[in-house]
Structure 1
Amino acid sequence: MRLTLSLLILSFFFAHCTQEPEVPQSGTTAPSVTDRPKGKLFIIGGGKRPPALVQTLINASGMEEGGYGIILPMSSGEPDTSAFYAIKQFTDLGLASSKFRSYNFRKGSYPQAAIDSLRNARLIYITGGDQNRFMDVVANSPVYDAIHEAYHSGATIAGTSAGAAVMSEKMITGNERRHPEYTGNFRTIESNNIEIGEGLGLLSTAIIDQHFIWRMRMNRLITVVLDHPDQMGIGIDESTAILVENGNAATVYGGYQVIVLRHPEGQTVTQDSLLGGRGLELNILLPGDSLNLD
């Protein structure tokens, strides 16, 4: 009797000790967690940058507490001059010039030491110029990856004018397909006209336009939102910025307005080349107003 009971206990023990670990069924995954960046975006609409606006950027980045900033002047046709004045706007407010470095990366040339420096910066500032020139150097490069790593680790990524346009995943290039000779007037709302390229993708739900009210770019933004109803259009005026925190909470700073355009119904019609749509939403934000980018 005791022998039989002992054999039963041993059989139960070995059966459970040698059991294969349970394998999840195909198609099951762990619950996803939204990966919110720890860093901030400071997106300036171009034009003059008053000291109060630059001070807001300094405060947001924590540069007075420590760390260093990197200037990326690749948008500019005169990168050395652009970097000089970008640094000057900070040193005029008391930050030491030794806290800043400038890297004028060239396509296909990405020194590892500079990439490591970029990855660990506290502030990354992208100057104005031509956003296409910038993305030609940065797209699918170690610079692109380093900017994203820095942003997710806690750095503040700032840009003005072209440096604002590159923040979007879908980037306004500045070119018109139907009217290739640039005038800056954007007199029409037509399909297949406003060219969209690849930006840095730091904003995935919005397309940024800059110099907005001063240069009367509403027709351009209406066209973009009708063409891309899954995106909100954000037009930032000169000497004005939005500070984006936690990946989705934006606040307006500076002297003028920010225009936000949405097309929630997503119904766009085309008649010949003319675009039409109903149910567009327009909001005009003043300094101090906030916006949820989700």
Structure 2
Amino acid sequence: MNRRQSLGTLAALLGGPTVAASARAATPPRRYGHLLAVGGAEDRERDRLILRRFIELSGGPQARLLVLTVASSDPAASWEGYRRVFEALGAQRVEPLDLREPAQANDPAVVDRILDADGIYLSGGDQRRLMGVLWESAAARALHLAFHVRGCCIGGTSAGAAALSRQMLAIGEPALRPYRDAVSLDIGLGLLASAIIDQHFNERHRLARLLSALALRPDLLGVGIDEDTALLIERGRSVEVLGNGAVTLVDARQMRTNVREADPEQPLQMLDVRLHLLPAGTRYEVVDLDPRVPAPPPALRQALELLVRPGPIRG
């Protein structure tokens, strides 16, 4: 798809019905990309498996890679670190994109750069800073278009991973047990519509924090990702765990809880919560099952379906 078609579709997202109608005919069918949610502290010195895979999924050494350092408090240092590792892995077309103000996220030149990218990597930092700049912006809508239509690979580490979901864990205390006021939720990018992500999961003992979030939003799948570990999602099809740790999935959709009656700092009762632990190397097909890959058991498959389910294009 050329840039004019991309921008026409973006105009349809931003404009009125006349613009939408004229762009619709030029819009090809959706071609979903991959989401790569990284738990932070990904290896940059040894085998660099996660970042190597990101380059492959983006199209190889000639892929156009964009590193968004919006979440970082030191974007220059963040960019330099990723520039070195991506170039060491053979990537030949890597560029930074740092936005400090919401107005920058509505610049047509910024939108062009996002739509031209084959792979987009969101750095760590503070997810609230990231969304403070990208919220309801043309750049956020362009990320959706790049992913949903162009098939761009979008990765995020630490804060960048947290912001991939629609409901984002914005603030949370390192509690020993879940309670009602332990976390604060906010709106993320929405590339992952039916889950909520926490990172540095095992290293910072964040199970209680994730449970606190699910007590407020039991309709979402809780995803806890260890450091130097990534959850790779092929939308509509499969999930895979990369790296050296594990991904914890917490399914609270059948849960019974006293969250509405509990005092703000009272430990919560949470019954019938399902937990799935997927170590690195785990891979499951969820749709169009490959007979060479073990099928997930029914309860796990129900959870994985929330991850691979295509969501709406939104900003």
Report the TM range for the smaller structure's normalisation.
Answer: 0.7 to 0.9
Query: Against the structure 1 CA distance between its residues 52 and 120, is the aligned structure 2 distance closer, same or farther, given a 3 Å change threshold?
Result: same
Residue of structure 2 in register with 1:123 after alignment: 119
Residue 156 of structure 1, CA deviation: 0.4
1:281 aligns with 2:270: no
The equivalent position to 2:60 in structure 1, one of 53, 60, 63, is 63
Determine if contact 2:172/2:209 at 8 Å carries over to the other structure: no
Long gaps (5+) in structure 1: 1-34, 177-184
Query: Against the structure 1 CA distance between its residues 36 and 276, is the aligned structure 2 distance closer, same or farther, given a 3 Å change threshold?
Result: farther
Residue 36 of structure 1, CA deviation: 6.2
Letter in 2 for 1:42: L
Residue of structure 1 in register with 2:167 after alignment: 170
Letter in 2 for 1:210: Q
- The structure having more radius of gyration, on CA atoms, is 1
Residue of structure 2 in register with 1:94 after alignment: 90
Long gaps (5+) in structure 2: 1-28, 285-303, 307-315
Tell me the secondary structure at the aligned position of residue 239 of structure 2: strand
Tell me the secondary structure at the aligned position of residue 90 of structure 1: helix
The equivalent position to 2:200 in structure 1, one of 197, 211, 217, is 211
Residue 209 of structure 1, CA deviation: 0.4
1:108 aligns with 2:106: no
Determine if contact 1:172/1:196 at 8 Å carries over to the other structure: yes
Residue of structure 1 in register with 2:216 after alignment: 227
Letter in 2 for 1:100: V
Determine if contact 1:171/1:197 at 8 Å carries over to the other structure: yes
TM, length-normalised to structure 1: 0.80
* RMSD of Structure 2 on Structure 1 (CA): 1.7
The equivalent position to 1:144 in structure 2, one of 140, 150, 155, is 140
TM, length-normalised to structure 2: 0.75
Tell me the secondary structure at the aligned position of residue 250 of structure 1: strand
Regions of 4+ moved over 3 Å? none
Q: Aligned equivalents of 2:50 and 2:213: distance in 1?
A: 28
> What percentage of residue pairs aligned between the two structures are identical?
33
CA displacement 1:227-249 (0-9 Å, x = unmatched): 21101101000000011102462
Q: Aligned equivalents of 1:197 and 1:170: distance in 2?
A: 6
Determine if contact 2:231/2:241 at 8 Å carries over to the other structure: yes
Residue 45 of structure 1, CA deviation: 0.3
Tell me the secondary structure at the aligned position of residue 209 of structure 1: strand
Q: Aligned equivalents of 1:115 and 1:53: distance in 2?
A: 26
Residue 200 of structure 1, CA deviation: 0.4
CA displacement 1:16-45 (0-9 Å, x = unmatched): xxxxxxxxxxxxxxxxxxx86511111110
Q: Aligned equivalents of 1:245 and 1:120: distance in 2?
A: 21
Q: Aligned equivalents of 1:111 and 1:263: distance in 2?
A: 40
Query: Against the structure 1 CA distance between its residues 186 and 252, is the aligned structure 2 distance closer, same or farther, given a 3 Å change threshold?
Result: same
Residue of structure 1 in register with 2:250 after alignment: 261
Tell me the secondary structure at the aligned position of residue 261 of structure 1: strand
Residue of structure 2 in register with 1:42 after alignment: 36
Count of matched residue positions in the alignment of Structure 1 and Structure 2: 249
Tell me the secondary structure at the aligned position of residue 240 of structure 2: strand
Q: Aligned equivalents of 1:248 and 1:229: distance in 2?
A: 24
Q: Aligned equivalents of 2:112 and 2:71: distance in 1?
A: 21
Q: Aligned equivalents of 2:122 and 2:146: distance in 1?
A: 14
Q: Aligned equivalents of 2:170 and 2:73: distance in 1?
A: 16
Letter in 1 for 2:41: G
CA displacement 1:237-274 (0-9 Å, x = unmatched): 00000111024622100011111111131322133343
